[in-house]
Amino acid sequence: MTAYTATVTIRPKRGVLDPEAETTQQALSRLGFDVNALRSADRFEIDFDAESSEAATERAEEMAERLLANPTIHDYDVVVTDR
């Protein structure tokens, strides 16, 4: 078994409204920043052991599907690194 860190990034699907991101962008504008667009995402860093990097990726994807993301409104990506 090898120790891995899976970084799971969850973001709204393209076309799904993100009012929090819009509000944040407006706040940046009020502070004088010239911003064309702002997208926000949640990032989870998960440490666990797995047989291989492929197995670790598969496990992290399952975590995203079953809890971390809501597939109706989110896309996600997974990056696995050795620890």
Partner 1 sequence: MIAVVQFGGSNCDRDAVRALDHVGFDARRVWHEDGLPAETDGIVLPGGFSYGDYLRAGAMAARSSVMAEIRQQVEDGTPVLGVCNGAQIGCEARLTPGAFTTNRSARFQCEHVHLRVENANTPWTHAYEAGEVISLPIAHGEGRFEIAEETLSELNAENRVLFRYCNADGAVTDAANPNGSTDNIAGVIGERDTTAVLMPHPERATFPELAENGTDGRAILEGFAVADP
Query: Which string of x and - marks every residue 33-52 that binds partner 1 (by CB under 8 A)?
Result: --------------------
> Binding to partner 1 by residue 72, rule CB under 8 A?
yes
* Cβ count near 47 (within 10 Å): 9
Q: Which long-range contacts (CB under 8 A, 24 or more apart) does 16-19 make?
A: 16/73
**Calpha distance 55→80 (Å, rounded):** 10
CB of 59 to partner 1, least distance (A): 17
- Nearer Cβ to partner 1, position 20 or 54? 20
Q: Which stretch binds partner 1 (CB under 8 A): 31-39, 48-56, 57-65, 69-77?
A: 69-77
**Calpha distance 48→56 (Å, rounded):** 8
| Interface with partner 1: number of residues (CB under 8 A) | 13
The 3-state DSSP class for residue 67 equals: helix
List interacting residues with partner 1 (CB under 8 A): 16-20, 22-23, 66-68, 70, 72-73
